Structure 1
Amino acid sequence: MGKREIHFCEKCGHPTKREIPEGDTHERDVCPSCGYIAYINPINIVGTVPYLGDKVLLCRRAIEPRLGYWTLPAGHQEVQETTREGAERETEEEAGIHAEIPSAPYILLDIAHADQLHLMFLARMKDESVNPGPETFEARLFSEEEIPWDKLAFNSVEKSLRLFFADLKKGAFGFHYIEKHTPGKFL
């Protein structure tokens, strides 16, 4: 994602300058007029790995980025929303499914180079019915062999699916935490 910068003060509109504020350890965008310091923090992406038996539900994206590619239902967490609430909302918006989502997260992909945290919850579907929203062309269940691996929207989706199917084979779903510092495929 690269270095994100704020060029104008959010409080007074004056141009900012890049510096390390007194008592801080990182460069920030600081307003020389009013002294406001802009803190840019990672983006939380929240979603689910919806499944029914040995199949996973994927959504074909009707929006950019990666229009037409397959993904798990996920998106940006909203303010004043818990990560679980955000995952439920995104799953409802993108897939329109009825699912049971436990309170404990399943996967945390800490993607430092992209300034993102991807927090995924398991979502056990109650039935096969789907009612995708406007961000999704179609949503459907796939077995591991049917997954369109070369048509997945993001590396994080592929990693989440591989973890899910490995856990399914073991018969146990544990928490996964993975750090990624450079662009490219997850190992």
Structure 2
Amino acid sequence: MNLNINYCSYCGADQLAEEIPAGDNMPRIVCSQCGSIHYQNPKIVAGCLVTWQDQVLLCRRAIEPRYGLWTMPAGFMENNESIEEAACRETFEEAQARVTLDGLYGFYSIPRISHVYVLFRGHLDKQEFGPAVKAWR
């Protein structure tokens, strides 16, 4: 396990250790001061295979990782949104495209990077799309 947490988010102590908490069976990061357990779970990525008539909408990555490669619009799910909302939001953020979802396309687990991908099939509501407006710094 990677101890990439430097301080306890509950008490601020820097006394973190990897151990198996009582009643658990997996190593976790535990604060030696207050006993808080810091779970590290996979990130959920939501996206969409977008079509317009017989064409597919792809995005060219403008940031690392995979700078310059082509991909479907997708990104990390936010708290307080459904997986479907995340797929539509990410499609708009990445490609300025509004879509209607047509069902699940695929579900992929990539353990080496701790990601779970949920991709939907969807179609453009209008033939309107463009580059992302995100300002990455």
Q: What is the match of residue 95 of structure 1?
A: 95
5+ residue gaps, structure 2 = none
Gap regions ≥5 residues in structure 1: 137-187
User: What is the deviation of 1:91?
Assistant: 0.3
Equivalent position of 1:108 in the other structure = 107
Render the CA deviation track for 1:70-120: whole Å, top value 9, x for unaligned: 111000000111111011000001111132113x42210011222110000
- Determine the C-alpha separation between the residues in 2 that align with 1:63 and 1:135: 11
Deviations 1:39-83 (A, max 9, x none): 111100001000123321101112221222211100000011111
Structure 1 stretch 23-32 or stretch 123-132: which is displaced more?
123-132
Moved over 3 A (4+): none
In the comparison of the two structures, how many residue pairs are matched? Answer: 133
Larger helix fraction of residues: 1
Comparing 109-118 and 84-93, the one that deviates more = 109-118
TM-score with structure 2 length normalisation? 0.88
RMSD: 1.7
Structure 1 position 135, deviation (Å) = 4.7
Q: Output aligned runs, 1:36-47, within 5 Å.
A: 36-47=36-47
Between 1:22-31 and 1:108-117, the stretch displaced more is 108-117
Percent identity over paired residues? 38
Q: What's the offset of the Cα at 1:127?
A: 3.8
Q: Which residue of 2 aligns with 1:33?
A: 33
**Larger % of strand: which?**
2
